[in-house]
Structure 1
Amino acid sequence: MSASLTIAGSGRPPAPAVSESAAGPIIAGVLILALFFGVLGGWAALAPLNAAVVADGIVTVEGSRKPVQHLEGGIVGSIGISDGAFVHAGATLMTLDDTTARAQYDIYFQQLALARAMEARLTAELNGSSEITFPDELLASDAPYVLQTIASQRDEFSARNDSLLGARDILLRRVDQLREQAKGSTSTRLSYEEQLASLAAERGRLDKLLKAGLATRGRVSDLERSMADVQGRLGAVAAEDSSNDQKIAEIEQQINQLGRDRQSEVAEALATTQSKILEIVPRLQDAQSRLERSIIRAPADGRIVGLAVHAAGAVVQPGQVLLEIVPEKATLVVEARIRVEDISELRAGMPAELRFSSFKQHVSPLIRGAVLQVSADRITDERTLAVFYKAMIEVDPKDLADHPEIALHAGMGATVLVTTEQRTALDYLLSPLVANFDRAFKQR
């Protein structure tokens, strides 16, 4: 049978027929192409190809390093650490020469010890106590100056009490003398009164005798003169008694005045002493703080970096950063520099992936993370004048724990990929076409 056909009325020669042997490869090729484009289309429709902001960053400590400075500065006395050493909070890092600070502290300490001891002594005098009650901090101290001060205040307390008692005793003895004199005057007065009574009785008898003519007028005159003399002496005794009473009252007033004067003197001295204490206490506290600051201690657990002084005798300027401590247990974050043109796509909470450049590419996997915060304004690098936004990226601790070969340290470099849009490969390929169609259909 002939394989050619004649088309009626065409006037053309018949087309060659497709052989059965050639049809198989064609169908297979079509199926392969269909399968390829089908798989490619399925992959493009399903494969994630997310949009992301890419930035470089550095591993840093959340809250940054802790600088160690000294307020006043001074001369380094000793250094007990080195760069890279691990220290615990409160550990001594270095000491400064404390000669001046200790001298000031000793001066104010001695002034306060003396003022406190004087306050205790004056309080005891004011209250009329028999002994001084010193503050516990003075009694607990074994400093020679404090012991000497306590002893001297006790001696002064005894001396002042003895002086006051001595002055009172002198006045009291004078009162006793006057009262003894008053007792003698009383006896004299009674004697004179008896004499006067006797003379008066004799005068009565003489008057009777005179009327009877048995006595002379001269005898009566002599008796009257004797009576007048006794009355004069009796008046003198009365005047002396009055004078003694007045003297006793004056002396008793002096005794009372001694106590009042002493109380007034002590109260004034106590007020002055307490005022002085109020002035000394803050000065002593400041001197103590200066002395304590001569021992520079670690503010937190961590490793020492950037040690600026290395030998005793070095001069430290006020406020100079002596070293920095990187907290060992602080949370590590990645500080990334975001380009200005990418900032509109970035916000806190977005997922991120991080690759750390300190490890080999095949060793360093992508570690998940999230954007913690983005700076509110752009930042200019003073050295390079580059403009950027700062973003803090938190490393997922669970994901990091799944990769024990990744050990993060402050200062490591990192590449940050912040996912800004979830999309597939097909979305990526079709988005320009869709955008062009959208723009074309909206044009007039």
Structure 2
Amino acid sequence: MRPTDHLEDDAPRWAGDRGPGGFGPQGAALILELQKLRRAFDEEDWSPRKPADGKRRSPEPPRRRHATAPKRPRKSRVAKAIDACLQQIGLRAPEHKEQPRELARAAAPAPPQRPSPTLAPHDPLTMDLVKLAPEIPMSFAPNRSMRLEQAGPALPPPAKSATRPGKFLASCRHGLITGVNFVIKGGELAPPPADSGLSLKTSWSFHRELRTGLRILLIAGLLGGGWFFFMPLAGAVVVPGNLVVQSNVKTIQHPTGGVVAEIKVQNGSRVSAGDLLVRLDATQAQASLQMVSKQLDEVRAKIARLTAERDNLPQLGIPPELVSRAHDETVTNLMASEQSLFKARFSARQSQKELLQSRIAQLDEEVAGLEVQVDSRAKQLELIKGEMAGVQDLYDKRLVPLARLTALQREAARLDGERGQLVSSIAETRSKVGEAQLQIVRIDQDFRTDVVKELGDSEGKEAELVERGVAARDLLDRIEIRAPTSGVIHQLAAHTIGGVVRAGDSIMEIVPNSEDLQVEARLQPQDIDHVHTGQAAFVRFSAFNQRTTPQLKGTVSYVSADTSRDQQTNAPYFTVRVTLPDEERRRLADLQLVPGMPAEVFMQTGSRTMASYLFKPIAEQMRRAFVEQ
């Protein structure tokens, strides 16, 4: 007997009105599975049991036993239920026939081994068809067997291992090699003959479909794994934004504020650059300008007078700034006043000089009188000296007394002293003349010094008044608030004639009529390292139909240098602007872009695989979890 004869001989024969092939392929497969299930329970009932203590007994030498007749097998409850199901479709379980004691002893098979928990011995999914192929018997020809093409080497028996992990690995290896050989081998079972058994027909059909399905699953798994681990997926930073004008919305304000006198526009009005929007009350601005202008004219007239006095001119001229208004009454009065002051100051200086001149003349006359007296004393002294010489000769001759000689000497000394006193008086008087002449010169010098100092102060004041005049004129010019650019009026805040506009408050906004539109988005600080100028970005306008509106491609044109903060939430953000080319905007066809329209911006970043998206966050969390604080 061949080792594979039990595939046909040991299978129970089922009796009925029609064979299993009469139920169709699906019915035949179901009947075959029920037969296998019943036979499995029969084998389980006859399988050897382990001892109660769970220990393997030591082998003992075989003892001579008397041959006994085999016992009649006992059906289990599951076997009885399966027989009942088969009988409902006209199949009866075979009757057990007792064999003679000698034949039973001779043909008694060895006790069946307990089937593997992972591989069934005759399961068509795992049995090695290559090894069993040469000896599969045919029901219609006992000497003819089914031929299988050899696809590969025979499966080696699993190595025995003493440990549970070893047994598990060996079992996995054996199952893997069996499955690979079953799926990828090129040869296929030849279809069995028409009169072959139900088991062979069902096994052949099942193996072919199973192999095809497994191949499809394997190819799909390889493609999916390749896409999962190697296909790059582009990343993106998604931020909300809105459409803005490249030149920004223009806010209309007033630096000093005022009272509203006239309102020319309203919300939604279209204006051109230079159009009048609002006129404020000009009373205060005009008064301030007139006051500054008057002070400036006075200072300029004064500067003209001081300049003439500095240069010692006989009369002053009209300043160049006032020539155009020379016939103006205000200017005429100013110049007349300065002319009078110029003459008065000149007359005062002349009077002081004339007084000093007369004083000098008086001193000169005194000097002349003193000089005459000096000459007289000199002549008297010469006469006395001559008389003293004659008296001295007479005194030497003892002709006159000594008293007379002494009296002459005394008179000569007196005259000499008076002459010296007169000379001293002449020098003192001449000194007074020099002082008077110096005072005359000092009058001009002091006057010129005062004039120059006053002229400098006046010129400084003139410059200050000029600046104040420019500011006052600018304030007067700003009384009429005009449009800085063409656009549409938005958020008008002034609605009342006579209402007060505070300094720096927003009066209205003008949305420019410009086609240079950009998308402005607020980027979170943690994403700033993924965005840079010149980076590609995609824009989707949520206000349009998403199914028919294309996604526009733009370029990041601006990234703010530092963070800004939201006025309501105080959250920091970076301002990013995306420019849309004209060819991209033309893709919108008839759709019109309006400033303020919401949009979504997708800024492309580096590419990553799906495995990186799934496993990198887990790896990062594990790395942080195992860091000691």
Indicate the TM-score class for this superposition, using the shorter chain for normalisation. 0.5 to 0.7
Identity of aligned residues (%): 27
Deviations 1:354-385 (A, max 9, x none): 346257964x44332123456776966837x9
Contact kept, 8 Å, 1:347 with 1:373, in 2: the verdict is: no
User: SS of the residue aligned with 2:295?
Assistant: helix
* CA-based RMSD: 5.6
User: SS of the residue aligned with 1:106?
Assistant: helix
Q: Which residue of structure 1 lines up, in the alignment, with residue 320 of structure 2?
A: 136
Read off the aligned partner of 1:137 and give its amino acid letter: E
Contact kept, 8 Å, 2:541 with 2:597, in 1: the verdict is: no
Contact kept, 8 Å, 1:379 with 1:390, in 2: the verdict is: no
The residue correspondences of 1:26-65 to structure 2 (distance < 5 A) are 56-62=240-246, 64-65=248-249
Deviations 1:90-129 (A, max 9, x none): 5543232232233233323322322232123112212212
Aligned partners of 1:388 and 1:137: how far apart in 2? 56
User: SS of the residue aligned with 1:132?
Assistant: coil
**1:315 Cα shift?**
0.7
Contact kept, 8 Å, 1:400 with 1:406, in 2: the verdict is: no
The residue correspondences of 1:126-205 to structure 2 (distance < 5 A) are 126-141=310-325, 144-169=329-354
Q: Which residue of structure 1 lines up, in the alignment, with residue 536 of structure 2?
A: 350
**1:322 Cα shift?**
0.9
The change in CA–CA distance for 1:267 and 1:306 in structure 2 (over 3 A counts) is same
The change in CA–CA distance for 1:248 and 1:104 in structure 2 (over 3 A counts) is same
The residue correspondences of 1:198-237 to structure 2 (distance < 5 A) are none
Contact kept, 8 Å, 1:336 with 1:390, in 2: the verdict is: yes
Q: Which residue of structure 2 lines up, in the alignment, with residue 14 of structure 1?
A: 195
In the alignment, which of 390, 393, 398 is matched to residue 578 of structure 2?
393
Contact kept, 8 Å, 1:57 with 1:415, in 2: the verdict is: yes
Read off the aligned partner of 2:502 and give its amino acid letter: Q
Q: Which residue of structure 2 lines up, in the alignment, with residue 202 of structure 1?
A: none
**1:75 Cα shift?**
1.0
Aligned partners of 1:345 and 1:279: how far apart in 2? 53
Deviations 1:200-237 (A, max 9, x none): xxxxxxxxxxxxxxxxxxxxxxxxxxxxxxxxxxx9xx
Q: Which residue of structure 2 lines up, in the alignment, with residue 382 of structure 1?
A: 568
Q: Which residue of structure 1 lines up, in the alignment, with residue 458 of structure 2?
A: 273
Contact kept, 8 Å, 2:296 with 2:462, in 1: the verdict is: yes
The residue correspondences of 1:54-93 to structure 2 (distance < 5 A) are 56-62=240-246, 64-83=248-267, 84-88=269-273, 91-93=275-277
Read off the aligned partner of 1:352 and give its amino acid letter: F
**1:57 Cα shift?**
3.1
Aligned partners of 1:14 and 1:318: how far apart in 2? 108
User: SS of the residue aligned with 1:309?
Assistant: coil
The change in CA–CA distance for 1:421 and 1:279 in structure 2 (over 3 A counts) is closer
Contact kept, 8 Å, 2:487 with 2:510, in 1: the verdict is: yes
Who wins on radius of gyration, i.e. which is larger?
2
Aligned partners of 1:261 and 1:432: how far apart in 2? 98
1:316 aligns with 2:448: no
**1:309 Cα shift?**
0.6
The change in CA–CA distance for 1:413 and 1:9 in structure 2 (over 3 A counts) is same
Q: Which residue of structure 2 lines up, in the alignment, with residue 304 of structure 1?
A: 489
Deviations 1:398-439 (A, max 9, x none): 32246563443311233444455779xxx9xxx579979xx9
Aligned partners of 2:573 and 2:426: how far apart in 1? 110
Read off the aligned partner of 1:120 and give its amino acid letter: A
Contact kept, 8 Å, 2:538 with 2:551, in 1: the verdict is: no
Q: Which residue of structure 2 lines up, in the alignment, with residue 414 of structure 1?
A: 599
User: SS of the residue aligned with 1:368?
Assistant: strand
**1:386 Cα shift?**
9.4
Aligned partners of 2:500 and 2:334: how far apart in 1? 38
Contact kept, 8 Å, 1:305 with 1:323, in 2: the verdict is: yes
- How many residue pairs align between the two structures? 366
Extract unaligned runs of 5+ from structure 2. 1-137, 143-191, 197-211, 381-418, 619-629
**1:390 Cα shift?**
5.7
The change in CA–CA distance for 1:104 and 1:382 in structure 2 (over 3 A counts) is same
The change in CA–CA distance for 1:55 and 1:271 in structure 2 (over 3 A counts) is closer
Contact kept, 8 Å, 1:367 with 1:396, in 2: the verdict is: no
Aligned partners of 2:246 and 2:517: how far apart in 1? 6
1:106 aligns with 2:290: yes
Read off the aligned partner of 2:510 and give its amino acid letter: I
The change in CA–CA distance for 1:381 and 1:122 in structure 2 (over 3 A counts) is closer
In the alignment, which of 516, 520, 526 is matched to residue 335 of structure 1?
520
Q: TM-score, normalised by structure 2?
A: 0.45
Deviations 1:144-202 (A, max 9, x none): 4344323322332233224433554566577779989999x8xx99xx9xxx9xxxxxx
Extract unaligned runs of 5+ from structure 1. 1-5, 16-29, 197-234, 440-444
The change in CA–CA distance for 1:49 and 1:276 in structure 2 (over 3 A counts) is closer
Read off the aligned partner of 1:157 and give its amino acid letter: F
Q: Using CA pairs under 8 Å that are at least 6 residues apart, name the structure with larger relative contact order, 1 or 2.
A: 1
Aligned partners of 1:99 and 1:341: how far apart in 2? 52
Contact kept, 8 Å, 1:110 with 1:146, in 2: the verdict is: no
Aligned partners of 1:129 and 1:285: how far apart in 2? 33
Q: Which has the higher strand share?
A: 1
Aligned partners of 2:263 and 2:465: how far apart in 1? 33
In the alignment, which of 115, 119, 122 is matched to residue 299 of structure 2?
115
Contact kept, 8 Å, 2:537 with 2:601, in 1: the verdict is: no
Contact kept, 8 Å, 1:302 with 1:326, in 2: the verdict is: yes
Aligned partners of 1:123 and 1:433: how far apart in 2? 88
**1:321 Cα shift?**
0.8
Read off the aligned partner of 2:595 and give its amino acid letter: A
Aligned partners of 1:258 and 1:129: how far apart in 2? 16
Q: TM-score, normalised by structure 1?
A: 0.60
